[in-house]
A and B are shown apart, each in its own frame.
Chain A
């Protein structure tokens, strides 16, 4: 680092840092919501202005970046990029469709379960990238409308992602900022997700499932699919599944091993890169590593970097402290009311705007409530409320989560446009039902 350690931040023209940082942050947020400029560019500009206008110096800005979140994201992206090359995800999806004799409702159920499980173990964006094409192909061959299938998968991906530390970016951010382990997420969030998924699928059955039909010829076409041919590289399949299993075991044992999740993910990525390049020439290795690194979602990584700095700006200027005081004054400093408020506000906000900037803002706000509630250890219900609200809230609209937009993109390119309003008219109430279930769970377990 080249910045002088003692170089203090000094806002230009002697302006009030509280106002400068607030205006910059709100402007950044507004442009992100407008989706007119790529979100990585907006976050980068917001972060750059926080430093160049003097709200932060470079050293403080860099201290705001959560490298544990970035390492965990990048490491898992590399592992998933290599694993998906083996074709295992397509294999499982087609295999599960054939297991239910290609019955349309059975397929919807199986693909939703596969989506939820993969979303919990990998991440929900990657999962829908792999599941959406399989779904569209199956529906095309069954001659059925793909909308209910894709709708169910959107919900399943966000519900499944809620269950674990690595399932959804908000969980990664919360886990990293608060030091919550993979097991803590598993023990606190995973138990409620099957209930929410079951209720969701029940509603989908009542709306669409009862009338789903496919001719015997159409079902025969699905039964003729060759899932074994999806496995293009058996050696790579064994290597990647072994490393993935070890990485998940590493997450489970992270606490006794005294390792951070980012270390486990990055180390797993390095081991898998080594195995998949074993006996390759130097040139082949360069080409392969270059290709895999190209599959890291750099937009997401740089979006996070910019966002962390922008949030650090308003935190240093004292904006988040004021925000926390306001929340406490509204909730009267009552833990139960505060947790419920965080759960519902997070859910509704996450349905309307990207949940990543929202969670990035809320983390320091909740942290600063520690003295009110008698210490950081008493904030646990608030963290689970934030995670449940932000992850499940993504189901409320088409723009609520990245996974939703990916599914919508695939559907549109296949000639089945998912419209914003009709989707929201059904998805938003269903999301509220999931939050009501989460509220009951929170109340019974923590409050």
Chain B
């Protein structure tokens, strides 16, 4: 799998991360958009100095080539340890509590270790609006 495929999968599922599964479908890690972008595009010193950056930056000169290189990169160097997860029968409030506790906006949903999907803070808000509309 390369970075391009991860970006496409995240965009399609509207989620900031996707799980990295082994041959049995069990989650063995995760790949996040943030980690890929931070590691490949954003040096630490630029974060420290974010406020003073002007309109012209040297990054823009080689943007086309650098973007192509990044998208063709294999995803393996960006795989992180597995994220928190919960089962599909867990109450939504538990998902929200876990997100707050772990300072994240998404949680993977699993069944006996197998990946089922992802619940995000946006999908929770969506579900509440849908529930209100139905009632």
Contacts and interface: CB of A to CB of B under 8 A. Distances in A.
A226 B51 contact: yes
Nearest to B43: A414
Interface string A326-364: 000000000000000000000000000000000000000
A155 to B, nearest CB: 20
B19 to A, nearest CB: 28
Interface in B82-99: none
A225 B54 contact: yes
A94 to B, nearest CB: 5
A210 interface: no
Given A136-B43, A414-B43, A221 B48 contact: no
Interface residues of A, number: 25
Nearest to B60: A221
Interface in A211-248: 218, 220-221, 224-227, 229-230, 232
A137 interface: yes
B44 interface: yes
Q: Most B CB atoms within 10 A — which of A140, A220, A230?
A: A140
Interface in A139-193: 140-141, 143
B44 A224 contact: no
A133 B49 contact: yes
A227 B58 contact: no
B14 to A, nearest CB: 32
A224 B55 contact: yes
A132 B43 CA distance: 13
A137 B46 contact: yes
A90 B52 CA distance: 8
Contact of B51 (A136, A218, A229): A229
B51 A87 contact: yes
B53 interface: yes
Contact of B57 (A132, A141, A230): A141
B133 interface: no
A221 B53 CA distance: 9
Contacts of A415: 43
A410 interface: yes
A224 B56 contact: yes
Interface string A397-435: 000000000000010011100000000000000000000
Q: Most A CB atoms within 10 A — which of B48, B52, B55?
A: B52
B131 interface: no
Contacts of B58: 140-141, 143, 218, 221
Contacts of B56: 220-221, 224
B45 A224 contact: no
B44 A226 contact: no
A414 B53 CA distance: 17
B45 A227 contact: no
Given A220-B56, A221-B56, A221-B58, A137 B51 contact: no
30 contacts: A87-B51, A90-B52, A132-B45, A133-B44, A133-B45, A133-B48, A133-B49, A134-B45, A137-B45, A137-B46, A140-B45, A140-B46, A218-B58, A221-B54, A221-B56, A221-B58, A224-B54, A224-B55, A224-B56, A225-B54, A226-B54, A227-B52, A229-B52, A230-B49, A232-B51, A410-B44, A414-B43, A414-B44, A414-B45, A415-B43
Interface of B: 43-46, 48-49, 51-58
- Listed from nearest, the 9 A-B pairs whose CB atoms lie closest are A224-B54, A133-B48, A136-B45, A133-B45, A229-B51, A137-B49, A137-B45, A221-B56, A225-B52
Given A87-B51, A141-B57, 13 more contacts: A90-B52, A136-B43, A137-B48, A137-B49, A141-B58, A221-B54, A221-B56, A221-B58, A225-B54, A226-B51, A230-B49, A410-B44, A413-B44
